[in-house]
Structure 1
Amino acid sequence: MARKAAKAKPKRNGRPRIQDVALRESQVVRSSDRGEAPPERPHAPSERRRPASGRLVIIGGHEDKEKDRVILRQVARCARGGRVVVCTVASDVPGELWETYQRTFQDIGCKDVVRLDIEQRADLLVDPPLDILDGADVFFFTGGGQLKITTRFAGTRLCAAVEEFYRQGGTVAGTSAGAAAMSDTMLVTGNSRESHKIGETLQMAPGLGFLRDVIIDQHFAERGRIGRLLGAVAQNPRFIGLGIDEDTAVVVEREESFTVIGSGAVYVADAEDVTYTNVAEEESSRTLSIFNVRLHVLSQGDHYDLRTRRPTHQFAKKIEKQIEAAERRLGRKPQAADSAASAPQ
């Protein structure tokens, strides 16, 4: 069952209360129950939604929780002393994951860490814990199964509230399944470790839509998922495919660009200029052919512009300086091991 924050905190960071958006969403539900035409949703269709001023931290899974904890320290910086909401909806062992992340975030300086567990969708339809977002700066999805996130959480009043939280400047982070669910089209299952056959089923489904025109895969090099990511972009050539290794993340700013942090690599598959693919042919046993696909491999400090579809490294030193400046403003000694990526606080 969904757990509420013990006490609602006052408005902070200049953002209005999230409940206002949730109220508009509840009007949609009540009108539908009465058979009336519902009012237009705040962000539908997606093309008309306003740009987000928040940040996404999309993690490839198995991030370091014991040593330098570069990625989770980045998430903690985004909290800026505010609340971190850990959502365990995707997991089969939510209690264990909650204890791990609670301990880790508290160890790296987050004082207000609260749990949100959603056992079934009905928990969010009757009495959604909207006040859990009061005073929050980070909403964090753990790993597990991405379909659990979308079937239990997507389309609810709380989901709309989290989207508004992100549009107003909050940070939404997710690891493993929580990473896969970030995009508007979500890769659910598909064969790994072998070259993609055009007859193999790639199960895709609508995601949470925080990042548009991107398909995300995680545990990428560790589970040999290059074939299935190329199969996904062959079927959806206007999308960018992101394959994120374990203990690696992309920090997305305002839906415009991202920077890589962590110990592994991020693979960017761009099929926009593909000249030929056999993905639509009927001979299902054929191995995928795809011509003129661009593949970039990015590591820590590398930057990618989602608008121009171009990578660059010129921002790395600038970002390190911004981290150090932010640490000094908070009265902390800059930590060299963590100087990976951050935007101005």
Structure 2
Amino acid sequence: MKVGLIIYGRLQTISGGYLYDRNLVEHLEAAGDEMEIVSLPWEGYGRSLLHNVWFALAEQLRLADFDLLLQDELNHPSLFWLNQRLRGQISYPIVSIVHHLRCSELRPSWQNWVYQQIERRYLASVDGFIFNSQTTRQVVQSLVGDSPPHVVALPAGDRLQPNITPAQIEDRAQQSGPLRLLFVGNVIPRKGLHILLEAVAGLPKSDWVLDVVGETAVSPQYTQQIQQQITYNVTLHGPLSDAELASKMMQSHLLIVPSSYEGFGIVYLEGMGFGLPAIAGRGGAAHEIITHGADGFLVEDTPTLRQHIHALHHNRSQLAKMSLAAQTRFAAHPTWSDSMSQIRNFLQSVIPPPP
């Protein structure tokens, strides 16, 4: 297959969505498919709408000899009208990779209403979908009805190749001293780092330490707010290599990313591979990974989050039990290779046969 992929910026951008796209590109290329990345510039939402009338972009797509064009749904403001304009001018199908919808995020309802109108028009302009979770599939179908051909291919957590035994997990849980907490994610409001900092601020500082791993340059204003909120026991690392992140996960007790919304939440699964119970927000698809009270918790507010941290610090037997359950949950999940093979089979099925 010759496959195009439209993204914003670089494929190496740090986020769960780009990790998914990157794994797919690597899998397709390893299978012998030819990939062409079409990179659009990162711009504000309003300026991105103007991409729909870029003559050069329309001409590039009109003349491309793709068998199939993939589009990351993140690019919907640039494509919602352009896709419709290309109808009848291209012979290849367009398949959208949907991680989560912008209109699902937490913001004023009037803003999400505007985003929803544009996203609905974009979703109606494609020929098929790749969904990263059942939750994302359901949200999209609520906007556009019964969807065109689609596949639900779950992200995986085996990127960091966890190598920790149940005995090591139990020993770690029983170690004396503060609970070692880990937050992994871009430092943006949706990921909820401010909620975590509020929660631990109400606990004795001898009970916990917190490592924060993630890009701090995505939302400078929010990062400044976070830096003002940090008082003690918190280390802001910035992004780490895979090896460094794996080391942090080996040493930690709990992974806490109380996002307001996650289309899936790859990091929860990655942490579970190291036996880390995951604490997440209730918005989105985290419930597809975390069984509340068994291998993690789903929380809605700061006091509840604080209560769970406090309880696990003082009940290390419960922490050990949940940690082992987290590792078991990880082991039952498909690998990246499994999910990307599923997508490749789907893509082959939607390519029209030659005339």
Please tell me whether Structure 1 or Structure 2 has the larger radius of gyration of its CA atoms.
Answer: 2
| TM-score normalized by the length of structure 2 | 0.30
Higher helix share: 2
Higher strand share: 1
